Chain A
Amino acid sequence: MLITGGTSLLARTTALALRDRGDDVVLLQRGDAGLDLAQVRADVRDAEAVREAMRGCDAVVHAAAKVGIVGTREDFRSVNVDGTANVVAAARQLGVGRVVHVSTPSVSHAGHSLVGAAADPAVTGRRGAHYAESKAVAERLALGAASDALPLVAVRPHLVWGPGDTQLVGRIVERARAGRLALVGGGAALIDTTYLDNAASALVAALDAALPGAACIGRAYVIANGEPRPIRELIEGILHAAGVAVVPREVPLRVAVGVGGIVEQVWGRLKPEEEPPLTRFLAEQLGTAHWFDPRPARADLGWHPTVTIDEGLQRLAEWFRANGL
């Protein structure tokens, strides 16, 4: 089976999990995945290369994506939309049995509080949020192509973290060490997150469930631990695991959203290559509740998270210790 985006932590973890249970795995990414697995070094925008890599595969996990907020609208569109179109086209052409499209909860929501929310349809036409917009277009494209001939399911893991994660854990720890970590609005907002191994097992479960005629075909599922926690507790837990003794400052939600908006505008001109420290989207992500109804994924994908947040934090602490970080 083919897994795209082999340099991302989630794709790699999923690849190893599939290999460990005996599947033949081929990775596709531009750089060297550095894993003891077959790999094709190619750009997902290269339709020909994608098709060739997929030849002979009976399943695909499409995890390649451009993430973050640095880059032009076109950068995001070409990787996330064209890349997905290439994967879907190749899978259809080659008659690949099962396809899992890795998406994100932000395709359907922006800003407002999510309380036990459902995986609503992706919303397109948003300006500014290049990542969310391109992923929304990609998910609609992918789900639109799903059929009994092309059994495809979209999975939206929410805030994946774990050992080796540079996106969430890395940034929180780095900012805390630099004394730049602030909690938005008291930190009480309930946030559900996904421990890395759970996100990987969800992709595997989705792959196994994506059979012709299954309830999940053509649908999107939010994946999370199903353990919403106040964001302050999560951040404190991660910092504790990293051995960082910093008490984050508190910033009122409205102030954070306002500042985030200004920072976004100014930062792009000053340091276009770096992620800004605060964006409006981030401020709203951190200051309002984000958690989802876990039942659809359980019912249709037959998936249950196996690592609790507390266990995950313990593993994270061991990893920090083992790596002397």
Chain B
Amino acid sequence: MSAPARPGAEQWEQWGVDPAWSRTIDVPSHDGGVHRWHLLERRPDGPIGAVVCVHGNPTWSYLWLRLLERLGDRWHVIALDQLGMGYSDRLGRRRYAERVRDLADAIDALDLDQRVVVVGHDWGGAVVQGWAVDHPDRLAGLVLCNTGIAVPAGRRAPGLIRLAAAGPMTDLVGRRTRVFVDGTLALSTRRIPASVRPPLRAPYGRAADRAAIRDFVDDVPFDDTHPSAAAVADVAARLSQVTAPALLVWGAADPVFDDSFALDLATRLPHADQHRLARAGHLSPLETEVADVAGVIDTWLADRIAGGAQDAVSAGGAVAEASAARPPVWAALAARAADDAVAFVDGATGDTHSFRTLHERVTGIARGLVERGLRPGDRVAMLIPPGVDLLAAVYGVWRAGGVTVVADRGLGLRGLGAAVRGARVQWVIGPREALAAARTMRWAPGATRLAVGSRRTMGAIATLDEVAASTAPMPPEPAPDDQAAVLYTSGATGPAKGVRYLHHQFAAQRDALAASYGITADDRLVAAFAPFALYGPALGIASTIPDVDVTKPGTLTADALGRAAAAIDATIVFASPAALANVVRTSAGADPRLGGVRLVLSAGAPVPVATLRAVAGLVPTAEPHTPYGMTECLPVADVSLAAIDAAGTGRGVCVGPPVVGAQVLVAPLGFDAATPVVAVPPGTTGEVLVRAPWVSEGYDRHWATERDARPLDAVGRTWHRSGDVGHVDASGVLWIEGRSVHVVHTDRGPVTPVPVEVATEYVPGVGRAAAVGVGPAGCQVLVVVIEVASGDDGLAPAPLAESVRTAVRTEVAHPVAAVLQVGSLPVDIRHNTKIDRTLVARWASDVLAGGRGRRPW
């Protein structure tokens, strides 16, 4: 029977499709007949290559609209309607093996003279995989998007499909009613613009046009006796033979083809690049509200198929050469294995652990993990609160060859869950509450659980104590190039991204810290920012975590800090700026318990000079320092209070010169990451790039992010984009002027926020300040939002506004359009100090457009 009538030109245009893209082609079939296929095609003059896109069930070639728009002026893009679907011929039932041959027929009929990149979504992905394994010589590249080839181990088939495929339901759901079509659209509610719904439904209006939808559902092999089971299994088995470049671009919020399908495919295609879109769902290619699948594919094709400036990321994405031989991070602890001196004191309980006992526990855990099945490279979610259990478990997992997945609790429960899910861990270690959360919220279905505490709860196979009691042989040491950890950033600009570290990078970081701060075995560390306690064993020094709620670092009291320092006779204190500020607030003057402290480090966010000065008053023997860095690279630079004072005022915040071993390059604002980066002259504001042996390896499953974050210079060296803007002054000192995404793009050029904020914060009556842009980029106006002790949110009173305008005009030479005041500015939950300027800008835009001005924080 015939296909539904193709839309007219006006209809196509209403759907955003150039009517000239739509055409049909009569394809001689392997079944002896000739079938008419409908396709959407863009064919530029002199295309780079051919890209054939295959939709799944129950969509049609319209699914690839954004890809056609994005690629079609450079690539020959063909989006096919599978037989029985869209506007192609309606035929009888076609099972999987036939569909693979149908695709081969169509590609042959298209008479493409080059090799072909195939792109597949949903069950179209299974079909292109079938074509790919059958045509290795014609395959240029394989892009798979929310699809699968086999039900992953430990997972049941997608529930929705299973339900739809349940006997008599199939016909009712798939053909007789539009339930399957509407249900699929519902999976992407709010992620797809409303305008794409009518065209997606259009070819499936009549029951007769929906027969193939039913047949597709019916063709999913749920057991080995299914007529298509053997064919699908054959393709799955041969997938590892694919050598052409492959990309898995995935909407992680897809309840059907979820993360576990991506993991399954990644195992079968180990060379594949991966890009996970945390907010995108099943119809990810059309979910422009939350993800840019077309953009990722475009960049990937340019790099991997057209052969761009790439290879930086894949081949040694690591910023910096492979390390000189450095001892591994557990070496210092091992060296003190027979030392009964105090290695760790738990500030909350007062429990004390010697180097000997800590080392025994670490090696015990390493042995016990391997004994219970941990394989090298297995990922382990560390859901353990800061304390000796976390310390021992992290070093134990590392020594065993596992990869620790660490997301500090400052991310909040949702952030933590997203991180664990995104990292796809095989193991979860945590106390009862953490295991319960992981289980009820399905953070890591199928992972092996270990309980911290006295009982095996929540399905744990063992307690950590039982693991540590192992007497199994010591496993071999992981290599310096093996992965050590995935750390999660605070995600101020979107979902948290995992940062991958290798063992040699951690070792280099340890050496950089030791060298920068002259740390020796005689030092003892108070880590008021709890994750920093992990450096203690690596540096071979004693450490302690003070008694403070780890989710609220800003509640650290002077007394808690004093007690912690006394417990280990501390020489070094590491604390966040918020914690130090509270210590200053709650302090009754110089504390003799801090008398042995020689160094106070504060980092994680811009540290107010006033706080450092107050700290210097409390700890007269110590020199306050603030290292500058980020999750991907710490430290980059360092500055002491004395050096800040000596530098005086300047444009931005002085963070000092780069530490030994690190390099800084300031690139032009808005530079093109695809071309070699060149430094701007000293004094010029630009984006800060860094290079050091301890820069992280890359971003976990964020191929496009990683590529964008790691540009090359003219001599082929890889740099890491910090995301900060600033400048290097004539004496080589780095000044930070804000985040690159927060730069205000005015009609007179870019304005960086920090210098404006610094100038504003000198105005009496002003607490913190945020400088934001309002309006379209390129003609934004500068707006200053100040924190005041009293008064309604909204316009600042005229005299105060005038003082701020004058201060900014004097210091930054830029006009301020408006000065707004609020009771409090939004800060990140992790450090309680970084102002969320994006949120502030949204509020200011609303107020200044005449909106109601309700604060979203």
Contacts and interface: CB of A to CB of B under 8 A. Distances in A.
A and B together in one complex: yes
Interface of A: 113, 115-116, 184-190, 226-230, 232-233, 236, 253, 287-289, 291, 293-295, 298
A188 B776 contact: no
Given A189-B848, A253-B850, A289-B850, 15 more contacts: A113-B849, A113-B850, A115-B775, A115-B776, A115-B845, A115-B849, A186-B794, A186-B853, A188-B794, A188-B847, A189-B849, A228-B818, A230-B848, A233-B798, A289-B848
B718 interface: no
Contacts of A189: 848-850
Contacts of B815: 227
Nearest to A294: B747
12 contacts: A115-B776, A115-B845, A188-B794, A190-B818, A229-B818, A230-B848, A287-B850, A288-B850, A289-B849, A289-B850, A291-B775, A298-B747
B570 interface: no
A293 B778 contact: yes
Given A188-B820, A294-B747, A116 B776 contact: yes
A230 B850 contact: no
Contacts of B853: 186, 188
B800 to A, nearest CB: 12
Contact of A188 (B747, B775, B779, B848): B848
B244 interface: no
A295 B778 CA distance: 9
Contact of B774 (A115, A187, A294, A295): A115
Nearest to A227: B815
Interface string B833-857: 0000000000001011110010000
B827 interface: no
Contacts of A187: 795
Given A190-B817, A226-B747, A295 B849 contact: no
In order of increasing CB-CB distance, the 10 nearest A-B pairs are A116-B775, A288-B850, A189-B850, A289-B849, A113-B849, A116-B776, A293-B779, A190-B848, A116-B779, A287-B850
A139 B817 CA distance: 31
Interface in B816-836: 817-818, 820
A186 B849 contact: no
A6 B848 CA distance: 36
Contacts of B774: 115, 190
Nearest to A117: B776
A291 B818 CA distance: 13
Contacts of B747: 226, 293-295, 298
Contact of A295 (B779, B795, B798, B820): B779
A228 B850 contact: no
B780 interface: yes
Contacts of A229: 817-818
Interface in B781-817: 781, 794-795, 798, 801, 815, 817
A295 to B, nearest CB: 5
A212 to B, nearest CB: 29
A15 B776 CA distance: 35
B795 A232 contact: yes
Contacts of B775: 115-116, 291
A227 B847 CA distance: 17
Interface residues of B, number: 22
Contact of A230 (B780, B818, B845): B818
Contacts of A227: 815, 817
Given A113-B850, A190-B817, A190-B818, A291 B781 contact: yes
B727 to A, nearest CB: 26
A294 B779 contact: yes
A293 B745 CA distance: 12
Contacts of B848: 188-190, 230, 289
A294 B801 CA distance: 24
Contacts of B818: 188, 190, 228-230, 233
Nearest to B817: A228
A227 to B, nearest CB: 6
Nearest to A189: B850
A288 B798 CA distance: 20
A236 B802 CA distance: 13
Contacts of A116: 775-776, 779-781
A115 B794 CA distance: 18
Contact of A288 (B779, B801, B849): B849
Interface string B659-688: 000000000000000000000000000000
A41 B658 CA distance: 76
A188 B850 contact: yes
A82 to B, nearest CB: 36
A293 B776 contact: yes
A288 to B, nearest CB: 4
A31 B775 CA distance: 43
A184 B850 CA distance: 9
A228 B847 CA distance: 14
A299 B801 CA distance: 32
A182 to B, nearest CB: 14
Nearest to A116: B775
B795 A186 contact: yes
Interface string B745-775: 0010000000000000000000000000011
A294 B798 CA distance: 26
Contacts of B801: 233
A194 B817 CA distance: 15
Interface in B274-307: none
Nearest to B809: A310
Contacts of A233: 795, 798, 801, 818
Nearest to B820: A188
A190 B778 contact: no
Interface in B495-513: none
Q: Which of A115, A190, A295 has the most CB of B within 10 A?
A: A190
B369 to A, nearest CB: 57
Nearest to B844: A188
A291 B747 CA distance: 13
Contacts of A294: 747, 779
A185 B774 CA distance: 19
Contacts of B779: 116, 293-295
A234 to B, nearest CB: 11
Contacts of A113: 849-850
Nearest to B847: A188
Nearest to B848: A190
A226 B795 CA distance: 20
A101 to B, nearest CB: 24
A50 B657 CA distance: 72
A294 B781 CA distance: 11
Contacts of B778: 293, 295
B246 to A, nearest CB: 43
Nearest to B780: A116
B608 to A, nearest CB: 29
B855 to A, nearest CB: 14
A232 B779 CA distance: 22
Contacts of B850: 113, 184-185, 188-189, 253, 287-289
A198 to B, nearest CB: 15
B613 to A, nearest CB: 36
